[in-house]
A and B are shown apart, each in its own frame.
Chain A
Amino acid sequence: MAEVSQQGEKNTAGKIRSNKSSTKIDMTPMVDLAFLLLTFFILTTTFNKPKAMELTMPEKIDITQPVGDKNVLNLILSENNKIFWYVGLEPPVFETNYSSAGVRKLLLNHKQRNPKLVVLIKPEDKSKYENIVDVLDEINITNTQRYAIVDLSDDDRRVLKTKKLMSLK
């Protein structure tokens, strides 16, 4: 196995004898170990760290800023990955999805038409966490400055109910 050059054993007479045996060490076990460790660390290392999305929420205050009806785009995140949206307070309510041709196009269109646009994101209780992250992502992509995550109001529920009934027919 590991043969380290042996010296001194036969040196009984106090005479320094030139050592003829080779000074080579068998490195195989060391290399085995090195590669074992290498494989282990390569396999356990994680390079892609999770990324994070910054979200700033307003403090809970009762004063609500009035915004013009026409500037408001309501996005209601519903169950089964559906988005219902309408402008202002009243229907018509439209349906869209989370694809880039869906909600992103919608945001871009409205932003172009109305620079004072305020997007209200209203997630229903049955919507998934992924939905809200997706919408926030699209808001970041389209660089929409003014948006808020709010709860559904009773008006929204009423509007949504009629829409859902209509789509059932």
Chain B
Amino acid sequence: MRYLPKSPAERAEMLREIGASSIDDLFSVIPEEYRLQRDLKIPRQMGESEIVDHFKNAAAHNAVGYTSFLGAGVYRHYRPVIIDSLVQRGEFLTSYTPYQAEITQGTLQAIFEFQTMICELTGMDIANASMYDGSTGAAEAVMMAVRITGRDGVVVARTVHPEYREVMETYSQHQEHSAQEVGYGADGRVDLAALDQAVTEKTACVLVQSPNFFGIVEDIPAIAEIAHKKGALLIVSIAEAVSLGIVRPPVEADIVSLEAQSFGVASSYGGPFCGVLAAKETYLRQMPGRLVGETKDKDGRRGFVLTLSTREQHIRREKATSNICTNQALVALMATIFMTVYGREGIKELALQNLAKAQYAARKLGESGKLLFAGSPRFNEFVIETSEAPEQMNARLLENKIIGGVPLKKWYPELGNATLWCATELTAKEQIDQAAAVLAETAVATTA
């Protein structure tokens, strides 16, 4: 076996030195009836070329060479080549959680830079060293708000990603809090009047997403006012991180839960991604997950350490802020490199391109249907309602190697024939025009 660095003779010699007569001696503590006396029924050992062929074959059974308008929480942005060159360095790839600070300063400093950039972009004071993803990050943010306020009511906008809401429901079912959903208005934004009704003195937090699941930017200052006036915290979930280049950061929020996948992370059929929680400084001690802090060694040199670990499970056990242990460090590193490559100007330029592409696509594709929530501020996603059933429309698009918008009926029955589309800097005008042409072929536009 090519990963095992021992010859048969070395194994025999080591056994002799241990005083074992055979390897089975070392497994004799396992009761005999439970020792596996046969080969596992899994595929035989393959050569490296066979492994590559196996996965190339699998890759060929996925969509390759299609134009895609999919977004909905996972975004296709260009990933600068140096991200992969750098994260594949063994010193980053094959290092552990930096508990031994003297020999993990590389990872620690990079995370410190990550935390700083997340603060700068979200307008928050502190950021952690990552959560599993945006969905679990949002669920942890809710639990954090419940701990901070000592209240148990949670108000969630229906415009939050449906799968995020499902995850929160799973997390909350055995916690002592109850979630209430608030719908959206004709503008595709949280219904502020309904929100005002829903938030009470028992509400721990209000959770919204912005840009929301329809791609619409929520009115964060107004939502914050409603939440804060009852003493509830505001959590803002951001699924499309590139939006932060041009959309005003949710500075009125108490906690921001960001999914950083857009920052240089492959869509990879849904993961691994990179959640991150950012918050106002006063909530530091209730923040779950790892944090890196700056300090000095005994000679006064700057260094970084994992800090405030008394919040964490390995110290606090059942009294910890969360059970989270492993995070998404390498993915956070990808995001860090991405943010460094684009930098102050680039992130804005990139966001502007997304804005322009989506505006153009919404207008062109909207010609064959109705662009919903048309006058509302939006980033790079939009909802189109067609007279044709989405399944039929998407089938026609697929014949042209185009993957159309995500049908919304499954989560929003009232939106019947609506689909959610996304255009990024990678979506070419030609592709948008082609999709619009296919839509126009037989589509009968609903009256706009």
Partners in one complex: no
Interface residues of chain B, those whose CB is within 8 Å of chain A, are none
Interface residues of chain A, those whose CB is within 8 Å of chain B, are none
